Amino acid sequence: MSDQPQMDFQASLAARAREVETVLADLLDARAETGEITRPERLLAAMRHGVLNGGKRLRPFLVVETAALFTRSADLLDAARRVGAALECIHCYSLIHDDLPAMDDDDLRRGQPTVHKAYDEATAILAGDALVTLAFDAITSDRTALDPLAKVRLVSGLARAAGIGGMAGGQALDLAAERDAPDEAGIITLQAMKTGALIKFACEAGAITGGAGAAQVEAMGEYGAAIGLAFQLADDILDATASTEALGKRAGKDAQAGKGTLVALHGLDWTRKQLIGLVDQAEALLAPHGIRAATLRAATRFIATRES
């Protein structure tokens, strides 16, 4: 693969990130929404610190690009950016809570102090809490131009992807992994929940927002599951090989914590081969969309080969 498609992809990822950051900044505005009393400054600042921090915005990207497979309506693509911003609020809340001393105890995130370091633990807990509800507010807001049934499906799907049977449950399994030493099936379940569920749902959410039928929502969910697993394998490879400086967060921490990964179980070569298999599987799911899926195709390769 030449470097050109990757450079083009980086540019479109960055362009989408700027669009969604406009929505995120608007959601994190100082003005209270209808039904709110007032927005305490320090808590809002902590939420902004945890969200407006130069993330790649991969989940919003997947929502918007998947929606774009099914619609060209400016209103629906605008709604997709808002839904994407909601998923990013959930992703950022999970990072804020995962970084807490009682969890992974990290001081550094994307090269910056984590929220509990920049503020304090109580504020970091509350900033995460308030980002969860902000996500559901963003989806159901009058400003999100979707019919009520689509909003209900999005809230339900996001709640389940982020909850005990998804992301939060995955983090619980991850914390237990230090003592439990899960086997291969356990590791795959853990990863499918901790990072996979929200990435999978990003693709389903894009399809729902774009007005896709049930079979197409399901197919995009399969695509999302494949790239979610690929994303995690790439993360495990990075954790085993990259420097703290390149990652902007502490490297090698999984190995230090004695946590099982597929890399530790099967080695780097096996894991890289698995990655290639997942990329093939993901690309097959995009095939029916032809040229319209060019950006998602580049995203698939980016996820599997990223260096930070």
What φ, ψ does residue 112 adopt, rounded to 5°?
-115, 160
Amino acid 261 reads T
Among 193, 212, 217, 299, binds a copy of itself (CB under 8 A): 193
| 33 binds a copy of itself per the rule CB under 8 A | yes
Question: Is 45 a binder of a copy of itself (CB under 8 A)?
Answer: no
Q: Which residues pair with 109 in a beta bridge?
A: 112
Q: In degrees, to the nearest 5, what angle opens at C-alpha 236 toward C-alphas 7 and 204? A: 65
- Tell me the C-alpha distance between 137 and 151, whole Å: 11
What 3 state SS string does 3-30 have? HHHHHHHHHHHHHHHHHHHHHHHHHCCC
What's at 129, amino acid-wise?
A: D
* Shortest distance, position 243 Cβ to a copy of itself, whole Å: 28
Count the residues of the shown chain that bind a copy of itself, applying the rule CB under 8 A. Answer: 65
148 binds a copy of itself (CB under 8 A): yes
x/- track of binding to a copy of itself for residues 200-239 (CB under 8 A): -x--------------------------------------
Residue 109 binds to a copy of itself (criterion: CB under 8 A): no
One-letter amino acid for residue 241 of the chain: T
CB count in 10 Å sphere of residue 118: 16
Decide whether 86 or 233 has the Cβ nearer to a copy of itself. 86
Please give the residue ranges that form the binding site for a copy of itself (CB under 8 A): 32-40, 42-44, 47, 93, 97, 100, 102-103, 120-123, 125-126, 128-130, 132-134, 136-137, 139-141, 147-149, 151-153, 155-166, 168-169, 171-173, 175-176, 189, 192-193, 197, 201
